[in-house]
Amino acid sequence: MTARIGVITFPGTLDDIDASRAVARSGAEAVSLWHDDADLKGVDAVVVPGGFSYGDYLRCGAIASMAPVMGEVITAARGGMPVLGICNGFQILCEAGLLPGALGRNRDMHFVCRDEWLRVENTGTAWTSRFEEGAEILIPLKSGEGRYMATAETIEQLEGEGRVVFRFAGDAPNGSTNGIAGICSENGRVVGLMPHPEHAIDALTGPSDDGLGLFLSALDSVVSV
């Protein structure tokens, strides 16, 4: 039976088609989910893709976090469903309370668009089992509000519990605390990161095919359940 992974579209989403292509490349079926429908269509996992949901009004991801579909995502995630938030999706997961902390304006107040080397810090999540710990992967980064921030207590907890999943291998171009590029929930089923793995699934069109590992990992996690 083919695994089914949902990809949400909000008004202003830009990367849902790319995320669906990555899902399909991994061997799973990509299922389109609409922001205004409180229906996950029986999917096995969910991707909350990047873009500018609802125009990034208020705070990035704040309005999207209250969309009908997100109510279902929150319930499913708390029940163990794998959920991946990419860029704006990471912001949405933080606003929805599925991940701690927040994403603020980049350190130099500029939009950053370039390929970045990330170090894989945690291979025990639903989205990183295909990687080796310490591996460096090349993934595009494109965001204006990607600086990860949290209280000192939260940062200490994330670091102590091994919940930093990805870290910039060099200097964090957005000024993220401790160079954090991605984190996970306590159970490792929910992962959020600012760089875009869906744009690195084919060495012919991207800087690498390193991003495909996240989607293959998710496929493994739902098939093995």
Catalytic machinery residues: 87, 196, 198
Q: Specify whether the CB–CB gap between 118 and 136 falls below 8 A.
A: yes
Q: Nearest to residue 184, comparing CAs of 104, 74, 99?
A: 99
Q: How far apart are the first and last CA of the chain?
A: 13
Cα 67 to Cα 159: distance, rounded to the nearest angstrom? 31
Give the sign of the dihedral formed by CA 80, CA 201, CA 64, CA 156: positive
Q: For CA atoms 108, 111, 114, 115, give the dihedral sign.
A: positive
Tokens, residue 113: 């668009």
